[in-house]
Chain A
């Protein structure tokens, strides 16, 4: 079972390498178009793009949302006439289930390669991204990491691997800068901090960076508390927070644990001046807000988030929510990645892998829905990528920082 990020006693079996071809939304019918006056005998061959997401195992929920984002972008591109420089070639999605494990991700990359994809987008979890991008590198196959935040992904010098979204280092840096700015603006009410993190790659990595950086910015870390995923109980964590009475709690964990923590803190009547999540599993999740509005109130998150002032983002949000799904950040990220890739193929005017990689390296694409500005890849990493701050206010998640994107003022310290 999906052990890449978490492993439970005997669920180990669901990780077995099985892959499945998702019914491609953009199933392309190659009907010859009779256009006698134009020299075009038939519609151009579809451009195959591999979408790799973990839709079974531990990360299935996230993978499902990632696939949704990719699908919506592909539908949109095709509806708008496909890749024009290739004579209006449609994009055909080749879906692969990464099963939440690195070896299943690798196997899918091999299959996609065999079926002739031009590029691969996705991976979600860092271990999957690490293994899959490496397998793709054997074939110079362009690989766009959708979410995987581990900095190791981009430091291996793989020419085929690109990351449009920010990595750990960047997220932490921005999270700290923004925290300092928000705190300064409020008259520096927060001085002491307790870190609560899950003990996997994501939580531990973040905690390490924070431990090094927070003291430099005048915050005192009272304690760092690690917990496993899944955690059966958060009362101990809450107890320790209560006894330490910090100004600020900085959690980094997944949905279930964060909800448990927030509710337990509410129960234990722990009211710090602020809860400042970094890449918080629930803190930017619409369902958390809807189901536990009281526990969720005023939680701040520094996370991947779409630009709320972008009309395209708002339209996408409406469409996604219309399907009864939550508009999570990996929907926007996969959506943007597909647009970015389509733009690169458009400019490359070819499905040649080397040319696509060149086009990606030269990309200045700005038609995405993230608050990143024009794209600029340096060694595969998008330099403009940055997380932004949101806060749960009332029944909505509002962007509160930086000001250029803010929809509301930060409620800090929380009343």
Chain B
């Protein structure tokens, strides 16, 4: 990675970190924290789905695992919340690797892989809802005990900074993947798995690494969710809502790009907040707008928002180029 790779991430992170000093409104901070938790999970999805081209419909399996592992460790075994965070992330990697091992070894791709992940998430949901050590349907309530040692902060801004730091770390990780040999192999598998294999890429190993990383990052976001709201149940942790949300954010923002998931999460949730102005008393109007915008975005903004921006920029450059007869594309 070069300085050019790092600077945008560093600048954006610092700007975002300064935000709570300017905006002291609690609703805004609360909104940003939840948005960033979703963005983090979406970054996890993007590693596997964006770079690896393996569309998962069941990332709830990882999100929920992260949430449950940290909650159970704290409640049943008295493990410290910070340790719980680390262990939950590890558990996400293990679950990711296992699901990947089963599905990739059977050669599942495309729709089939999407469906099998969906089914895994559903199985987890039903089990978590029925088993007693997950609290069954009553869910788990993490004890309210505000103290930095317990990963609970009196000031919402602190939690915001924590999530932001993790999002930034994953941005760096994603940038590294993009630049690394592993990333190149992953993209090769996405573009043409057979060709990649022919070139000597161990596609199974590459995909397994990707899904383990992806599972870990998404589990981390699940863990943060549990820690922020202090309550989870099977439908929250393993529900299909989170699978859908983690998949939509990168696709809206720009699939397979470093910033796509964050841009997408911000757009989706921002849109939700704007749409509420239209809502009035009729239920669902805002969501109709939302669904419609989604369809329109797909119809007119291929490659997500970042893709759209890039095309606009290219078009702008193209015009400039035509105007000045300058054809140099140095720097691209």
Inter-subunit contact A20/B286 (CB<8 Å):
yes
Inter-subunit contact A18/B241 (CB<8 Å):
no
CB proximity of A95 to chain B, nearest CB, Å: 9
Does B107 reach chain A (CB closer than 8 Å)? no
Does A7 reach chain B (CB closer than 8 Å)? yes
Does B292 reach chain A (CB closer than 8 Å)? no
A4 and B236 in contact, given A16-B272, A107-B27 (Cβ under 8 angstroms): yes
> Which of A17, A55, A152 is the one whose CB lies under 8 Å from B272?
A17
Q: List residues of chain B with CB within 8 A of the CB of A102.
A: 229, 231, 236
A114 and B235 in contact, given A107-B31, A152-B141 (Cβ under 8 angstroms): no
CB proximity of A131 to chain B, nearest CB, Å: 5
Q: In whole angstroms, how far apart are the Cα atoms of A101 and B129 in the complex?
A: 17
Inter-subunit contact B129/A199 (CB<8 Å):
yes
> Which of A6, A56, A202, A226 is the one whose CB lies under 8 Å from B284?
A56
Inter-subunit contact B268/A16 (CB<8 Å):
yes
Q: In whole angstroms, how far apart are the Cα atoms of A408 and B141 in the complex?
A: 42
Inter-subunit contact A18/B34 (CB<8 Å):
no
Inter-subunit contact B284/A14 (CB<8 Å):
yes
Inter-subunit contact B141/A111 (CB<8 Å):
no
Does A87 reach chain B (CB closer than 8 Å)? no
Q: In whole angstroms, how far apart are the Cα atoms of A20 and B275 in the complex?
A: 9
A110 and B27 in contact, given A12-B245, A156-B141 (Cβ under 8 angstroms): yes
Q: In whole angstroms, how far apart are the Cα atoms of A134 and B143 in the complex?
A: 11
Name B109-149 residues within 8 Å CB distance of A: 125, 129-130, 136-139, 141, 144
Closest to B238 in A: A7
Inter-subunit contact A23/B281 (CB<8 Å):
yes
> Which of A7, A134, A205, A226 is the one whose CB lies under 8 Å from B138?
A205
Does A307 reach chain B (CB closer than 8 Å)? no
Inter-subunit contact A12/B244 (CB<8 Å):
yes
> Which of A1, A9, A22, A114 is the one whose CB lies under 8 Å from B26?
A114
CB proximity of A6 to chain B, nearest CB, Å: 7
Inter-subunit contact B137/A103 (CB<8 Å):
no
CB proximity of B292 to chain A, nearest CB, Å: 13
Inter-subunit contact A12/B241 (CB<8 Å):
yes
> Which of A6, A19, A127, A150 is the one whose CB lies under 8 Å from B276?
A19
Does A379 reach chain B (CB closer than 8 Å)? no
- How many residues on B have C-beta within 8 angstroms of the other chain's C-beta atoms? 45
> Which of B137, B144, B243, B290 is the one whose CB lies under 8 Å from A204?
B137
Does A60 reach chain B (CB closer than 8 Å)? yes
Does B73 reach chain A (CB closer than 8 Å)? no
Name A111-146 residues within 8 Å CB distance of B: 111, 113-114, 127, 130-131, 134-135, 137-138
CB proximity of A149 to chain B, nearest CB, Å: 11
Inter-subunit contact A107/B34 (CB<8 Å):
yes
Q: List residues of chain A with CB within 8 A of the CB of B275.
A: 18
Inter-subunit contact A55/B139 (CB<8 Å):
no
Inter-subunit contact B231/A13 (CB<8 Å):
no
Inter-subunit contact B26/A110 (CB<8 Å):
yes
Chain B, 230-242, contact with A by CB distance < 8 Å: what is the 0/1 string?
Answer: 1101011001111
Closest to B60 in A: A12
Q: List residues of chain A with CB within 8 A of the CB of B34.
A: 17, 103, 107
Q: List residues of chain B with CB within 8 A of the CB of A135.
A: 30
CB proximity of A136 to chain B, nearest CB, Å: 12
Chain A, 2-44, contact with B by CB distance < 8 Å: what is the 0/1 string?
Answer: 0111111110111111111011000000000000000000000
Inter-subunit contact A12/B240 (CB<8 Å):
yes
Inter-subunit contact B138/A107 (CB<8 Å):
no
A127 and B236 in contact, given A7-B241, A16-B272 (Cβ under 8 angstroms): yes
Inter-subunit contact A107/B30 (CB<8 Å):
yes
Q: In whole angstroms, how far apart are the Cα atoms of A303 and B248 in the complex?
A: 41
> Which of B138, B139, B273 is the one whose CB lies under 8 Å from A18?
B273
Does A203 reach chain B (CB closer than 8 Å)? yes
Q: In whole angstroms, how far apart are the Cα atoms of A144 and B142 in the complex?
A: 22
Q: In whole angstroms, how far apart are the Cα atoms of A150 and B139 in the complex?
A: 11
Q: List residues of chain B with CB within 8 A of the CB of A111.
A: 27
Inter-subunit contact B138/A10 (CB<8 Å):
no
Closest to A150 in B: B138
Q: List residues of chain B with CB within 8 A of the CB of A23.
A: 280-281
Inter-subunit contact B26/A18 (CB<8 Å):
no
Q: In whole angstroms, how far apart are the Cα atoms of A136 and B208 in the complex?
A: 44
Q: List residues of chain B with CB within 8 A of the CB of A56.
A: 283-284, 287
Inter-subunit contact A13/B241 (CB<8 Å):
yes
Q: List residues of chain B with CB within 8 A of the CB of A55.
A: 283
Inter-subunit contact B138/A152 (CB<8 Å):
yes
Does A260 reach chain B (CB closer than 8 Å)? no
Most buried by A among B144, B229, B269, B284: B229
CB proximity of A22 to chain B, nearest CB, Å: 6
Q: List residues of chain B with CB within 8 A of the CB of A138.
A: 154
Closest to B31 in A: A107
Does B2 reach chain A (CB closer than 8 Å)? no
Q: In whole angstroms, how far apart are the Cα atoms of A5 and B234 in the complex?
A: 10
With contacts A17-B269, A201-B139 known, what are 17 further pairs, Cβ within 8 A?
A: A1-B241, A3-B236, A4-B233, A10-B244, A15-B241, A17-B31, A18-B273, A18-B286, A20-B279, A56-B284, A102-B229, A102-B236, A106-B30, A106-B229, A114-B25, A200-B235, A204-B138
CB-based closest 6 A-B pairs: A12-B241, A20-B279, A204-B137, A3-B239, A110-B27, A7-B239
Give the B-binding residues of A (Cβ under 8 A).
1, 3-10, 12-20, 22-23, 55-56, 60, 97, 101-103, 106-107, 110-111, 113-114, 127, 130-131, 134-135, 137-138, 150, 152, 156, 158, 199-205, 226
Give me 26 A-to-B residue pairs in the complex whose CB atoms sit less than 8 angstroms apart, sorted by A's number: A7-B125, A10-B244, A12-B240, A12-B245, A13-B290, A15-B241, A17-B34, A17-B273, A18-B273, A18-B276, A18-B279, A18-B290, A19-B276, A97-B279, A102-B231, A106-B30, A107-B34, A111-B27, A114-B26, A127-B233, A131-B230, A131-B231, A138-B154, A200-B137, A201-B137, A226-B130
